[in-house]
Amino acid sequence: MTKANVEGSCNVEIHEGTSGLIASPGFPHSNYSNDVICTYRIVAPVGSHIAYRSLYMDLERRGRTNCYDAVNIHFVDDDNSTLGLEQYCDQEEIFIDATPGNTLLVEFFSDDTVSASGFVIEWTVVNPAAMPPQLNCDFDGAFALCPGWTQIQSDDNFDWSFTRGSTPTRDTGPYFDHNTESGEGRYAFIEASGVTMDQFAQLASPPIDGDLNHCLQFWYHARGKGVGSLAVIRKFDENNHEVLWLSGPETSEDWQPVNLTLPVTFYTAQIIFEATRGNSFFSDLAIDDIKFNVGLCVNSQSLLDAEETTQALTQLRVSPSTHTTQDCEKDEFACIRSNECIKREQVCDDIIDCTQGSDEDWCFSEWCPGNQYWGACVDGCNYTCADGPTSPLCVRKCAYRCACPPGAPVLHNGWCIQFSECPSDIVTEVITRQTKEKVHGEVMTLYEKIGYEIKKKTK
């Protein structure tokens, strides 16, 4: 460890400045003394928080059950109420974190025997409200939840948690985060203890521009008995959303990668990570290292196979996220938008059983070609490049079939694109044809008008 260039002190209170260092008495010239108690209080403007981390740590070695010399970080809220503390000794690193309020309270004490060279802690005043939204999130910053990301409070049952190392419950969850693979990095997870089966938590991204294709990449972890499900949902507004991906029942000791292409929609949307608790408190789920890159994914994926898709979708549909008040039996599915119950095996079987067709809504299918999806009550046919951008929509028949997404409505050579991406010769032909049709229509209207005037005069 390299010693930082700072003079040690004891019993310090700071009310000015935006950053600085605090160090143990005697640092860097000598070891701290025995039987020392020092307090360091840093107060930032109301509404701000203080990020902190250690730059140097060398205290007496930790005992079998406790610290002999230690640094205590006290969690103090805006009312100066102590919420708890974290204790560090030996050469334990204080990883970057932030205070819950505007006060950082650090306490250092030593016993009457061994001493060491001491500690240095760096602090910085931060204001989350002034931070720009950040799409990419690894949960490793001073604030676990990246700027612009939110816990949805109105629809879900509980919140995502954030931690370093392993989850509180044994035999479930990761051992470390994916990014650092050490105790330094954080990840987001749902703690299955204390909540019941089918309760769910939702984490929402900042708004994403729908004018460009995006590749969403993240890692997820599912280990333990009775593991629940993880859904990735694109939410346009309160009444319009689509399920992009659903996890299967597999469990693994390792982090699993997911790559999802988010096609152009021309609508701003949020990405929602919805984790549903399984049938056991050994069912922690975790996510880490979320990234959004402009363009298509090289290897975009959906569910691993159709059987797992149907199973996970059924589980998601019967969770409270369906917002249904219909009471159905445990082996039944509550139809959305209609007061009906059907058997679970009737969900996503390509047969509409619910009056409004909700049992076949957004059912992913391996045989949908290209970048088409299984649509919920979509139009009866797709555009083609030959139709042109001003052609009337196909007659709406509330069809359930493979369809192009709204942002890429033109089907060309088995792939959904925008009309501007159609081959130039077809575009020229369409524009020429539509121009002729327009002129012809105007001429016919003129003929009809002239004929009407002649007919009036002859009467």
Mean pLDDT, the chain cut into blocks of 10 residues (459 residues total): 83 95 96 96 93 96 92 80 84 93 94 95 92 92 91 78 79 76 85 77 90 88 79 83 79 86 82 84 82 83 44 43 48 67 78 72 58 60 72 51 71 81 81 67 59 55
Record the pTM.
Answer: 0.63
Tokens of 330: 């445990």
Tokens of 163: 């931690």
Nearest by Cα to 255 from 218, 283, 292: 218
Angle (CA) 177-168-108 rounded to 5° is 85
pLDDT at 321: 33
Rounded CA separation 345/413 (Å): 35
pLDDT at 357: 67
pLDDT at 308: 46
Nearest by Cα to 59 from 71, 51, 49, 41: 71
C-alpha distances (whole Å) from 95 to each of 52, 86, 116, 140 are 8, 11, 21, 9
Query: How many CB atoms within 10 Å of residue 391?
Result: 13
Tokens of 317: 């549909």
User: In the block, which residue shows the tokens 């310090």?
Assistant: 12
pLDDT at 450: 57
pLDDT at 323: 33
Query: How many CB atoms within 10 Å of residue 35?
Result: 10
pLDDT at 300: 67
Rounded CA separation 151/378 (Å): 32
pLDDT at 337: 52
Q: Which helix (H) or strand (E) holds 19?
A: strand 19-23
- Classify burial at 393, counting beta carbons within 10 Å of its beta carbon; exposed 0-12, middle 13-18, buried 19 or more: exposed
Contact in structure between 299 and 214 (CB atoms under 8 Å):
no
Q: What DSSP designation does 359 have?
A: G
Instruction: Please give the single-letter amino acid code of residue 33.
Output: S
pLDDT at 339: 67
Contact in structure between 161 and 212 (CB atoms under 8 Å):
no
- Helical H runs in 338-423? none
Tokens of 383: 């555009």
For residues 299, 300, 303, 304, the Cα torsion angle rounded to the nearest 10 degrees is -10
Q: How many CA atoms lie within 13 A of 445 on its CB side?
A: 6
Q: Which 3 state secondary structure label does DSSP give 316?
A: helix
pLDDT at 210: 79
Q: Which helix (H) or strand (E) holds 103?
A: strand 103-109
Mode of pairing for the β-strands spanning 37-43 and 12-14: parallel
User: In the block, which residue shows the tokens 């509330």?
Assistant: 398
How many residues in the chain? 459
Q: Which 3 state secondary structure label does DSSP give 197?
A: coil
Nearest by Cα to 97 from 83, 86, 108, 109: 86
pLDDT at 303: 35
Rounded CA separation 371/416 (Å): 6
Rounded CA separation 346/25 (Å): 71
Rounded CA separation 393/57 (Å): 68
